[in-house]
Amino acid sequence: MRTNGTLIGEYQQTIHELSELIVRAQKPIRILDALKWGPQVAAYFFENKCKKLPTIDREFYLKNNPLSFDPEQKKEEFYEIDRLIRRKLGQYSGVGSIMQRMCNEYIRVVDMLMARGTSRFTEISQDLYGSSEDAFHIGAPTLKDLATLISDALANIKDQVFTEADEETHTSKAVVAMLGERLSGYFAEHDNIRVELSDGIIADAAAGADKIKIREGLKFSLREIRALEVHEGWVHLATTLNGMAQPVCTFLSKGAPSSTVTQEGLAIITELFTFSSYPERVKRLTNRISTVNMAEEGANFFDVFQFYRNQGLNEEDCYQSSVRVFRGSTPVGGPFTKDLSYSKGFILIYNYMRLAVQRGLVSRIPLLFVGKTTLEDLHILHDLLEEKILIPPRYMPTQFSDLAALSAWMVYSLFLNRLDLRRLALDFKAILQ
C-alpha cells in the first residue's frame, strides 16, 4: 500500500486503516460548535440591560443546537473501533493504546454533549479537562493558587509596561491581511493556508485544519497579533499540518480532549519562549482559571459577568468571557472547564521539558509538534519514530528545534527552582525598595 507517497508494510497498513477509522468517526463531533448559545441569547441579554437571561437547559440545546449525528450510534462506532484495535494490534500495542484512549475519550465527549444543560455536563468536563482544584502532585499548589499568585504580581506592575505595541489600533480585517502574509512565509510549502473573518466564534481567533478565523468587529494591538501568529499559527496550525503529513498515524491530525491540554500548554509556552506574551495576555488566562473556579464553587453567570466588569472590560467582552465559562451548561450550573487547559498544559509541559533534559531525554521534546499529542504518549511516539512509522515534524519553532539552546535554558531552570523566593525577598529587601 502507498499513502502520501510512502510505501508501507502490513503492520503499518493496519495502523493506518485503524487510524483512518478514528479520523472519519470523529469528523462530525465539533465540541465548541455544539456548546454555543447563539446570537439570540446575547440579544436577549443586552435587550434586558444585562439583568436577565433566557432559560437555558437541556431542552434549549436540543431545540436550538441539535447534534449533527446520532450520539448512541456514534458511541457504538467508537466501541467497535476499540474492539478492532485490540483484535488487530493486540492488548499491549503502544500505538494501539493511544488509539484506544482516543476512542474512549471521544465516547466521553459524546456523553458530555448528550448531557448539555444538566449537572452531568460539568462532571464529565472535569473528567476530560480537569478542575481548578486539581493537584499537580501531593502537596502542590493548584491552578487556583496559580491564578491568585499571578494576579497579585500583575497588580504590582500595572501600567509600568504599557507601550505603543499594546495600543489596539488594528481592525480584524487588517489582522487578516497581516497574519495571512506572515503565515504564508512560515508555511511556505502550503499555498492553501488562509486567514479569514468570522462572526461565529467566541474567541478572538481559532485555528482549523488549513485556516485561522479572526472574530469580526474587534481591534488588535501589535502584541496581540504577534501572539496570534505564534499561538494559532506556529502551534495549532503547525501541529495539524504535521499530523496530516503522517503517512501512517493519521490520527495525530485530530485532537481528543487530553491533547487539548498539551496543545494549549504548548501554545502558551511557545508564546513565552518567543517573547510574544505580555501581562494583559497572562491576566486573561488567569482570569479564566478564576472564573472557572468561581463557577465550580457555585457562582452563576451574573457573578462571573460582574467579575469581568470589575476587571474593566466592556459589556460585550464581559458577556463573551462569561459565556466561555458556562457554554454547554446553564447560567446557574457548573462550568465548562476547557479553559483551564492553557495554564495546566503550560505547567505540565514546562516541567516535562526540565525533567527530560535532566534525564537525558531531550531528543523527545520536538515530538510535541508531531501532531495532536499528549505527554503520556511521547515515549510511544519516540519508539514509532525509531521504527520509522512516524516522520519528524516539518513545522516547528526554532526555540524547540534548537535543542542545545533549549537545554541550556532548562538546566538553569532546574537550579533556580531550588531557591527559596521568600528567603531571597528578605535578603534583597534593601535593593527592592
**Tens of pLDDT, residues 294-341:** 999 999 999 999 999 999 999 999 999 999 999 999 999 999 999 999
**Which is nearest to 18 in space by CA: 72, 75, 98?**
98
Tell me if 309 is assigned to some domain. Answer: no
Burial of residue 274 (number of CB atoms within 10 Å: 0-12, 13-18, 19+): middle
pLDDT digits (tens, 9 = 90+) for 123-140: 999 999 999 998 888 878
Contacts of 92 (CB under 8 A, 6+ apart): none
**Torsion angle of alpha carbons 368, 370, 376, 378, nearest 10°?**
-90
pLDDT at 158 over 80: no
Distance CA 78, CA 138 (A): 35
Residue 126 phi/psi, 5° resolution? Answer: -65, -35
Tell me if 40 is assigned to some domain. Answer: no
pLDDT digits (tens, 9 = 90+) for 357-370: 999 999 999 999 99
pLDDT at 3 over 80: no
Q: What is the mean pLDDT of residues 238-259?
A: 94
- How many domains does the chain fold into? 1
pLDDT at 1 over 60: no
Tell me if 395 is assigned to some domain. Answer: yes
CB 56 within 8 A of CB 331: yes
**Which is nearest to 337 in space by CA: 128, 109, 191?**
128
The number of angstroms, rounded, from the C-alpha of 75 to the middle of its chain's C-alpha atoms is 24
**Torsion angle of alpha carbons 269, 164, 184, 214, nearest 10°?**
80
Percent of the chain with pLDDT over 90: 75
Tell me if 324 is assigned to some domain. Answer: no
Tell me if 275 is assigned to some domain. Answer: yes
pLDDT at 6 over 70: no
Percent of the chain with pLDDT over 70: 98
Average per-residue pLDDT in the chain?
92
- Per-position b or e across 92-123, b if 16+ CB within 10 A of its CB: ebebbbbbbbbbebbbbbbbbbbbbbbeebbe
Task: Report the predicted TM-score, pTM, of the whole model to 2 decimal places.
Answer: 0.91
Tell me if 62 is assigned to some domain. Answer: no
pLDDT digits (tens, 9 = 90+) for 384-431: 999 999 999 999 999 999 999 999 999 998 888 888 888 888 888 788
Tell me if 185 is assigned to some domain. Answer: no
CB atoms within 10 A of CB 255: 23
pLDDT at 146 over 80: yes
Tell me if 187 is assigned to some domain. Answer: no
pLDDT at residue 154, rounded to an integer: 86
Domain range enclosing 277: 2-29+69-167+221-298+334-432
Cell of 422: 521568600
